[in-house]
Amino acid sequence: MKSANGLAGARQGRPAFWNTAKRYYDFKSCLGNTFGTRVAKLTVDAGFTCPNRDGARSTGGCIYCDGRGSSLRRKGALPSVTEQLRLGMERYRGSGAEKFIAYFQTFTNTYGPVDELRRLYDEALDFSPDIVGLAVGTRPDCVSDEVLDLLASYRERCRVWLELGVQSFHAPTLERINRGHTLEELLDAIERASSRGLELVGHVILGLPGETSEIMRETARRFASLPFSGLKIHLLLVLEGTALADEFRRGEVPLPTLEEYAGWVADFLELVPPRVSIQRLTADGYRDIFIAPDWARNKLAVLNAIDAELERRDSWQGEKDGE
Ligand code: SF4
């Protein structure tokens, strides 16, 4: 595609509503546009487990999962939801945040009786009027109609995001990584959640075993065709204590260079519609159990490489939306 000045790319450029200097619709800008102020996401570990670990679906977990949960959990008894939010708020107010999203992040945050889920989500929203959003991370096989109805009921008082682990829309990959659910369950969860007006954030992983760049682009096209409002792209990390680490040590897991990864992310972003907020572009943390790829230790360098790749292509999120 040639632009008016004859250069490749730049078909649509930067939509005015993005309000950002980035070549993609970064989440910070999206939150600023939505709430008109600085908003911080406060992570909560409410003590959930995961059916892909506790035996309900499997005991092995996804091959890349370290199974440890949050650092808070590893320190001992978990503080209450209220206490976690209080501490998080204190920290982020210091850096200028005025409103907050309670983010139930660790393991599968809809995996429990509905009354218990209601108690936990209520506790978060009742904590402060400055909590303006509820984000709940989960798996596609753990969102019954009852759970989705509960989440949808909170739309009267705040924004509600359902963060779904997608990882890939390639069915053989879901099996290969031991996701413990099918592609059909994933598509069904997306359909039932969006029909209730829940905002969907999809998590995908780039570099999964067996996936070519074309398979990843296929996931991007499928993602673009579905009603997601947010995207988190993770890099496949090899962590100590995972099945992936064993495969890696046997030489069975090829990992990308930083340049290859930046190219995959740029490919993905080009296919994602401009309306989708980009909430993450790499994976970080896990310093004590990190194995590879070595370049991923430097998050800023990864983000800079992605920016540079989009710049080099003179390309944007949504540049190839619909192709
Ligand atoms: S769904 Fe999440 S918590 Fe459960 S095994 Fe997979 S990565 Fe681990």
Q: Kindly give the confidence (pLDDT) of every residue in the chain, 323 residues in length, as a single tens digit, with 9 standing for 90 and above.
A: 433 333 344 456 889 999 999 999 999 999 999 999 999 999 999 999 999 999 999 999 999 999 998 889 989 899 999 999 999 999 999 999 999 999 999 999 999 999 999 999 999 999 999 999 999 999 999 999 999 999 999 999 999 999 999 999 999 999 999 999 999 999 999 999 999 999 999 999 999 999 999 999 999 999 999 999 999 999 999 999 999 999 999 999 999 999 999 999 999 999 999 999 999 999 888 889 999 999 999 999 999 999 999 999 999 999 998 88
106 Cβ inside 6 Å of ligand 1: no
**Taking the model in full, what pTM does it have?**
0.95
140 Cβ inside 6 Å of ligand 1: no
- Domains of the chain, CATH where assigned: 16-313 (3.20.20.70)
User: In the chain, what are the helix, strand and coil shares in percent, each to the nearest 5?
Assistant: 40, 20, 40
- The phi-psi region of residue 267 (left if phi > 0; otherwise alpha if psi is between -120 and 50; otherwise beta) is alpha
The atom number, within ligand 1, closest to the CA of 165 reads 1
The atom number, within ligand 1, closest to the CA of 51 reads 4
Give the span between the Cα atoms of 290 and 48, in whole angstroms: 24
Q: How far is CA 124 from the centre of its chain?
A: 21
The atom number, within ligand 1, closest to the CA of 179 reads 6
